[in-house]
Structure 1
Amino acid sequence: MSESSTYAPDPGLRRRDVLRAGGLAGAATLLAPALPSHAAQPTGPAFQHGVASGDPLPNRVILWTRVTPVADATPGSGVGPDVTVRWQVATDADFRDVVVSGAVRTGPARDHTVKIDAGGLAPGRWYFYRFAFGDQHSAIGRTRTAPAFDVQPDRLRFGVVSCSNWQSGHFASYRHLADRGDVDAVLHLGDYLYEYGPGEYGSFRRHDPPHEMITLADYRRRHAQYKTDPQLQALHAACPWIITWDDHETANDAWSGGAQNHTEGEEGRWVERRRQAKRAYAEWMPIRFGPDGRLFRRLRFGTLAELTMLDLRTYRSKQASEIGEADDADRTIVGADQLAFLRDSLRAEDVQWKLIGNPVMFSPLLLPPLPRVVGEPLAELTGLVPEDGVPFNVDQWDGYQHDRRELIRLLANQGVRDTVFLTGDIHTSWAFEVPVDAGLYPFSRTVATEFVVPSVTSDNIDELTGSPPRTVSVSVETAARTLNRHLKWVELDSHGYMVCDVTADRVQVDWYFLADRENAGSAAHHAKSFAVTAGTQRLREVSRPV
């Protein structure tokens, strides 16, 4: 596919082709080079945790797998030999046209994970990849490079997911996205896994290790458990993922100096726990870290869109303990360096859509939102009521109103258009317009839009209240929309995923809801669609999905 062609899946490369190729991969005598007599051989299944790719650039992409060279080299064990794993990238599922290949050493020091930053690829096209150890091949994955920076693709299409708790259900949302065959990449917006022990926050499936993860071995074992899920493996193999973390990759309600679910006296120093969690995350995720190991980063998709993935846990101040603290200018959710980085992303003039991979809700969700003309003097007078209004949830941007106002002012004062926040964390579905002054909406102009994805499995309102779906939650939804007029739609009971389709004319987001999170074969149905037309920063409901 040429650089100027549409950034879209090749219709001939569907998931069935990946599965067919997986069958061919087993024929090692046909596909693998002859092995020297002294080559290491696995003593059991070598590739038990699937394959994955991520962070596509125009000429390179991250490739990932994990090898089990001997039976006792289990994840987190710290045992097993150092071994060499081979890898190949090809334009075809039969690997007749291999374009780049190599070999890499791995061992217990990195939990026998393998991560390659495979270069020498052409922009804007699909590739197949696989790994080999001894006489065994991995499953075959399919990945795609980004378009060249100076090309405007006709469209982009992302699957969007968040909050996938093993203990709360099956990952059917992943299967549905894998089966589509038309998704260029998947955005996972955080809570890829959860730290809790068995029976804590869900009991449908039980976590391993059988306690809360705290040590490096714990985090490695938990990552490994999640990557044994066949539906997760299918979606990782179907297309590249672009991932950021939220809190549960370390511990609940994490901030720069601790977490709600961390007790230093019993669980050690927070800085050490987070370091071990990040090390396991780096080993087990198909992600490219930036300078100084930073997780926030940008990915460019030609001139059509730039995606900025945020890290809203590493640098944030502790969550407000008093309502008035939500306005404190000394408190931050992004940190100074990341805020400057995000400002640069929003000011970019050589790309149209500014997409923000945002782990927690950006839009004001306040009780009630105050007009700025009232809120500012009231905040100054009392020091108790935040300028924008009383927040429902101080773990969101509502608890860090100064940072949010800085960004909203930038969008408003510098005429930035076509900014879209794609958000996870809250386990429910929301569609917002982001106004300059929420208290004066709809008379206040809007500067961005926000789409919030429901959880893959994690509990939402009906499960948390023990009430039947579409009963108690309906009144909550009505109240939220009444108090927050910039909120265009909310649904608090369903699990599922979003599809985000980007063209020069508009961004459209389609919500799909599962019938039953505890059924691995659950059906999914289209629930709602909204679009934002270029240049408007306004939402309109759309009757049909893309």
Structure 2
Amino acid sequence: MISAAPSRRAVVTAAAATAAVLPVATASRAGADTGPAFHHGVASGDPLPDGVLLWTRVTPVPGAVPGSGAGPAVAVEWEVAGDAAFSAVVARGTVEATAATDHTVKVDVRGLAPDTAYHYRFTAGGVRSPAGRTRTTPGADSAPANVRLGVVSCANYEAGHFAAYRHLAARGDLHAVLHLGDYLYEYGTGEYPAEPARRHEPAHEIVTLADYRVRHAHYRTDPDLRALHAAHPVIAVWDDHETANDAWREGAENHTEGAEGTWRERRAAAVQAYFEWMPVRASIEGTTYRRLTFGRLADLHLLDLRTFRDQQVSGGAGVDSPDRTITGRAQLDWLTSGLSASAARWHLIGNPVMISPVAFGSVPAFLLGPIAECLGVPAGGLAINTDQWDGYTHDRERLLRHLRDAGISNTVFLTGDIHMHWANDVPLNAATYPLSPAVATEFVVTSVTSDNLDDILGVAPGSLSVLASAAVRAANRHVRWVDMDHHGYAVLDVTEERAQMDYFVLSDRADPDATSALTRSYRTLDGRQRVTRADAPVA
């Protein structure tokens, strides 16, 4: 079923009419081409019942381009209103943009009403930014009828266009958009994929602070990404490509110590640029793990699975060691204690890499290499993906046993990374499932653009991947569905009775005007801990 697919022009035109999304800043005085400009749009994120984080980047003079370290400080006024015409301004203030933060601006606005839509904008030197729309979360003691989130991950600029963002930006029914990581990629041009659909900047692999700033800025030149940020608050966590592929505590697969500086220096540069350019509040130890609430209906626990993890092992040796961690002990304690203390009906966990155990050994041998390439792991002897929770089974067992022993139901893992759509039960013991129970469920969203199995094989969707999908499901009875072929996004809707994920796929990642189609819907009912197929998407 093809949705009523908005064109890029339609999205921009409609948004301009409501002052929600504009492709570039509009000048309100003569001579703005030599003065301040807002070339990178606006954004909001991390909504609270009484506030939200607002973001923009101002170019004070033409030479003060991202990553340059050049340009004077400039005063930036901000305002928040209850209407698109800004006739009912409820909050305003002034902040300074300086070269020290790449002339980015972040304002943590408080004192707003819960569960309310607002409009916001910035002004510098008489030049006004595009306007954005945001929304606060429900009050702590409220009982909202539903929470609806767009869900995305893995957006490689060179692999295609961001039509998934355009389709989400056009929806007026979302409370927020959850980005599960790989917001950008660190590679040089032509490294991944080998034949770019378009080219990012800088052309070389990003290593320094200036590099990461330029790459973030170049992503924000994409009109669909700007439209997404201007239309909805974005709740984001990082995975590995925000720094380098297969990152861990002291290094990464795609980092060469010495030739590319030290890992500590490179990671610090990537983290600084990320918090400058993303509408994200830094939490404990400058990471992205934190918790947001949606009244008594749902808590959203957001994980950082790169900063504290041990190095990935090759093959399967050592994956069960109690000395190995993917979360770090402090973060796992924070998660388990937060789950126990929560009074919410649903426990949503923003989980950058898959927690469900998956054995790939039954997949036909000629497909193991392409699947490993899709997963970004070494191809030799692929049986499990040790970059996922499968490589850190002690942490997974501790978390899942906690859910069982504490009687915590309605836990839903929301996952990215793997460039495929999945719907899974999460068993405590996969070997004896379904005789042994599931203790949670998992909805995995495919990539916005990054390579899927059919991209790597160079075949049509639904051909060779059918063999791999069938083999995975036969060997992993808790996997209810997997789509290895498509790019797209998902929409999660949570009510007291159920949590449902509607999965959408795009017609062609290389087409900036790609259409969107609903492909499947899966849900888990209150108290069940099992995934079942839904007959229809959420209205």
Out of 399, 404, 407, the position equivalent to 1:412 is 404
Contact 1:46 1:68 in 2 (8 A): yes
2:134 is the counterpart of 1:137: no
1:269 and 1:323, CA in 2 relative to 1: closer, same or farther beyond 3 A?
A: same
Q: Could you tell me which residue of structure 1 aligns to residue 41 of structure 2?
A: 50
With 147-156 and 290-299 compared, the bigger mean Cα shift is at 290-299
Tell me, in whole angstroms, the C-alpha distance in 1 between the residues paired with 2:92 and 2:269: 31
Tell me the matched-pair count.
504
Q: How does 1:499-514 map to 2 (within 5 A)?
A: 499-514=491-506
Q: Could you tell me which residue of structure 2 aligns to residue 324 of structure 1?
A: 317
Deviation at 1:436, TM superposition (A): 1.5
Tell me, in whole angstroms, the C-alpha distance in 1 between the residues paired with 2:101 and 2:462: 46
Question: Which amino acid letter does the alignment assign opposite residue 490 of structure 2?
Answer: M
Contact 1:391 1:398 in 2 (8 A): no
Q: Could you tell me which residue of structure 2 aligns to residue 152 of structure 1?
A: 143
Q: How does 1:292-371 map to 2 (within 5 A)?
A: 292-366=285-359
2:74 is the counterpart of 1:88: no
Tell me, in whole angstroms, the C-alpha distance in 2 between the residues paired with 1:15 and 1:392: 47
Out of 82, 104, 108, the position equivalent to 1:117 is 108
Greater radius of gyration (CA) = 1
Deviation at 1:535, TM superposition (A): 0.4
2:250 is the counterpart of 1:252: no
Tell me, in whole angstroms, the C-alpha distance in 1 between the residues paired with 2:460 and 2:361: 28
Tell me, in whole angstroms, the C-alpha distance in 2 between the residues paired with 1:41 and 1:524: 38
Q: Could you tell me which residue of structure 2 aligns to residue 8 of structure 1?
A: none
Q: Could you tell me which residue of structure 2 aligns to residue 378 of structure 1?
A: none
Tell me, in whole angstroms, the C-alpha distance in 2 between the residues paired with 1:222 and 1:367: 34
Out of 216, 224, 243, the position equivalent to 2:217 is 224
Tell me, in whole angstroms, the C-alpha distance in 2 between the residues paired with 1:55 and 1:22: 18
Tell me, in whole angstroms, the C-alpha distance in 2 between the residues paired with 1:439 and 1:22: 50
Out of 480, 483, 489, the position equivalent to 2:472 is 480
Tell me, in whole angstroms, the C-alpha distance in 1 between the residues paired with 2:75 and 2:409: 49
Out of 201, 204, 215, the position equivalent to 1:211 is 204
Tell me, in whole angstroms, the C-alpha distance in 1 between the residues paired with 2:273 and 2:410: 36
Deviation at 1:292, TM superposition (A): 2.8
When normalised by structure 1's length, the TM-score is 0.90
When normalised by structure 2's length, the TM-score is 0.91
Tell me, in whole angstroms, the C-alpha distance in 2 between the residues paired with 1:502 and 1:178: 20
Gaps of 5+ in 1: 1-13, 30-34, 370-389
Partner-residue secondary structure (3-state), 1:196: coil
Q: How does 1:184-203 map to 2 (within 5 A)?
A: 184-202=175-193, 203=196
Partner-residue secondary structure (3-state), 1:266: coil
Q: Could you tell me which residue of structure 2 aligns to residue 5 of structure 1?
A: none
Tell me, in whole angstroms, the C-alpha distance in 1 between the residues paired with 2:175 and 2:13: 13
Deviations for 1:198-243, whole angstroms, at most 9, x for unmatched residues? Answer: 1110211112111000000000000000011000011100110000
Question: Which amino acid letter does the alignment assign opposite residue 86 of structure 2?
Answer: F
2:68 is the counterpart of 1:77: yes
Out of 454, 468, 473, the position equivalent to 2:460 is 468
Deviations for 1:372-411, whole angstroms, at most 9, x for unmatched residues? Answer: xxxxxxxxxxxxxxxxxx9520000000000000011101
Tell me, in whole angstroms, the C-alpha distance in 1 between the residues paired with 2:100 and 2:17: 32
Out of 437, 457, 473, the position equivalent to 2:429 is 437
Question: Which amino acid letter does the alignment assign opposite residue 140 of structure 1?
Answer: A
With 529-538 and 44-53 compared, the bigger mean Cα shift is at 44-53
2:528 is the counterpart of 1:536: yes
Deviation at 1:26, TM superposition (A): 4.3
2:51 is the counterpart of 1:60: yes
Q: Could you tell me which residue of structure 2 aligns to residue 290 of structure 1?
A: 283
Out of 239, 247, 265, the position equivalent to 2:232 is 239
Contact 1:391 1:399 in 2 (8 A): no
Gaps of 5+ in 2: 1-11, 363-381
Q: Could you tell me which residue of structure 1 aligns to residue 161 of structure 2?
A: 170
Contact 2:20 2:230 in 1 (8 A): no
- Taking every aligned residue pair, what percent have the same amino acid on both sides? 56
1:541 and 1:22, CA in 2 relative to 1: closer, same or farther beyond 3 A?
A: closer
Deviation at 1:481, TM superposition (A): 0.2
Deviation at 1:27, TM superposition (A): 7.6
Q: Could you tell me which residue of structure 1 aligns to residue 387 of structure 2?
A: 395
Question: Which amino acid letter does the alignment assign opposite residue 173 of structure 1?
Answer: A
1:65 and 1:438, CA in 2 relative to 1: closer, same or farther beyond 3 A?
A: same
Contact 1:15 1:238 in 2 (8 A): no
Tell me, in whole angstroms, the C-alpha distance in 2 between the residues paired with 1:423 and 1:110: 31
Tell me, in whole angstroms, the C-alpha distance in 2 between the residues paired with 1:527 and 1:247: 28
Q: Could you tell me which residue of structure 1 aligns to residue 254 of structure 2?
A: 261
1:414 and 1:452, CA in 2 relative to 1: closer, same or farther beyond 3 A?
A: same
Contact 1:41 1:69 in 2 (8 A): no
Partner-residue secondary structure (3-state), 1:247: coil
Partner-residue secondary structure (3-state), 2:83: coil
1:352 and 1:195, CA in 2 relative to 1: closer, same or farther beyond 3 A?
A: same
Partner-residue secondary structure (3-state), 2:424: strand
1:249 and 1:539, CA in 2 relative to 1: closer, same or farther beyond 3 A?
A: same
Q: Could you tell me which residue of structure 2 aligns to residue 387 of structure 1?
A: none
Partner-residue secondary structure (3-state), 2:178: strand
RMSD: 1.9
Question: Which amino acid letter does the alignment assign opposite residue 149 of structure 2?
Answer: F
